[in-house]
Amino acid sequence: MSEKFKVLYYVNQFFGQVGGEDKAGMPPEYRPQKVGPAMGFEGALRGEGEVVGTIICGDNYFNEHQKESLDFIKKTVKEASPDVVVAGPAFNAGRYGMACGELAKAMAEELALPVVTGMYAENPGVDVCKNKAIVVGTSDSAAGMRKALPAMAAITVKLAKGIELGAPEKEGYIARGMRKTLFEEKRGSLRAVSMLLARLKGEEFETELPMPVFDQVEPAPAIRDLSKATVALCTSGGIVPQGNPDGIQSASAQKWGKYDVSGLDGLPAPGFYSTHGGYDTAYANENPNRVAPLDLLKEFAKEGVIGKVFDWFFTTTGTGTSVSNAQKFGKEIGAILKEAGVDGVILTST
């Protein structure tokens, strides 16, 4: 029997069985054993490979100390010298997904190691690494673990043995965005005619050159008289009142907040600050109006340029936030603004 290939596993604090949100700040640590999903994963390798160890890292720690985390992981990987690195599955957990994604990207780019991970298609971590690593498509919650592990294991076996992967839909991974050249049974013209017939009959057809899809939002009509308009302010720059009373996440936001600013001339520091991960918040914390310019809006209201600034200020964190959450937040905030008769909203990002 040939020697087993070696896998190094990565999980977050929760799947590493250290703890929940309260342990999300834990720095990475290495355990020379199988922890959490690594056990089920090794079983799915059917004896062809073994998990030599597990790295556990808190989601917040990774996202807030990416460089340190990656340095630790790289060092560990070099020592353990695995054939494949496996991370997750992260399902639809944004911070976990970002960690798996960044890790996968770093391993592939810097150490030229094959990496297999698993995520829900809308996890923001997918776009970080899908062209560098193999991301198995999973369901949006940990209920999909039993399906995800065998698919990840099967792909890991192939990568370890240098076997070429089949089509994404067949192997269960999210397309890397690679255009693979191959032969079709039907010649091109016949495929064109088949596609034409399907289109003419209103049947489903699949283009062979899919285009990137952009979510196009129809802009609202211009405000006719700004001097009578109520204008609201909304940011995804993570500006929150001191103490972050609603606990808005620093990345992969699960919620948004609204705060009464009717009595303020602007967003004062240190009364407000940015809880946003992923950018240097020093300047935002020095003056939060740099991210959400409430001061200028209030001035405009005083000068009569606009009618009024809406009493409530809306905020969330943009980084790593899934498209579905962002859409949900937008609809919820939009409904409130509409209900209140707000005429316009200024949206700022970072």
Partner 1 sequence: MKLEIGRINIKDIQFGDGTFVQDGVLTVDREGLTAFLKEDERVAGVRLDIARPGEKVRIIPVKDVVEPRVKIEGTGAGFPGVTAKPSQCGQGRTHVLYGAAVVTVGDIVGFQEGVIDMWGEGGRWTPFSKTCNVTLDLQVVDGLDTHTHEETIRLAGLRAAEFIGLAGRGAEPDEVLTYEMGGIFEETEKYPNLPKVLYAEMMITQGLLHDTYIYGVNAQTILPALMHPHEELDGAVISGNCVAACDKITTYQHQNNSVILDLFAQHGKEINFMGVVMVPEHTTLSGKLRASDYTLKLAQMLGADAVVVSEEGYGNPDSDLLMICKKCENAGIKTVLITDECAGRDGMSQGLADTASEAVAVVSTGNVSHVVTLAPAERVIGNPESIAVLAGGWKGALLEDGTLMCELNAVIGSTSEIGYHHVTCRQY
The site for partner 1 (CB under 8 A) is made up of 131, 165, 167-168, 175-193, 195-197, 199-200, 205, 207-212
Amino acid at 221: P
User: Closest separation between CB of residue 350 and partner 1, Å?
Assistant: 26
User: Closest separation between CB of residue 158 and partner 1, Å?
Assistant: 14
Please list, in sequence order, all residues whose beta carbon lies within 8 angstroms of the beta carbon of residue 267, skipping any fewer than 6 positions away. 239, 261, 288, 289, 292, 294, 295, 313
User: Closest separation between CB of residue 132 and partner 1, Å?
Assistant: 10
Amino acid at 242: Q
User: Closest separation between CB of residue 207 and partner 1, Å?
Assistant: 5
Q: Considering only CA atoms, which of 75, 89, 109, 103 is closest in space to residue 41?
A: 89
Nearer to partner 1 among residue 191 and residue 228 (C-beta): 191
Nearer to partner 1 among residue 165 and residue 345 (C-beta): 165
User: Closest separation between CB of residue 299 and partner 1, Å?
Assistant: 41
**Spatial distance between the Cα atoms of 66 and 51, rounded to a whole number of angstroms:** 24
φ, ψ for residue 7, nearest 5 deg: -120, 135
- Sort 240 into a burial class: Cβ within 10 Å, 0-12 / 13-18 / 19+: buried
63-97: b (≥16 Cβ within 10 Å) or e:
bbbbeebbebbbebbeebebbbbbbbbbbbbbbbb
As a dihedral over the C-alpha atoms of residue 184, residue 190, residue 192, residue 193, rounded to 10 degrees, the angle is -150
DSSP states of 201-220 = HT-----SSPPPP----PPP
User: Closest separation between CB of residue 168 and partner 1, Å?
Assistant: 6
User: Closest separation between CB of residue 175 and partner 1, Å?
Assistant: 5
**Spatial distance between the Cα atoms of 34 and 53, rounded to a whole number of angstroms:** 6
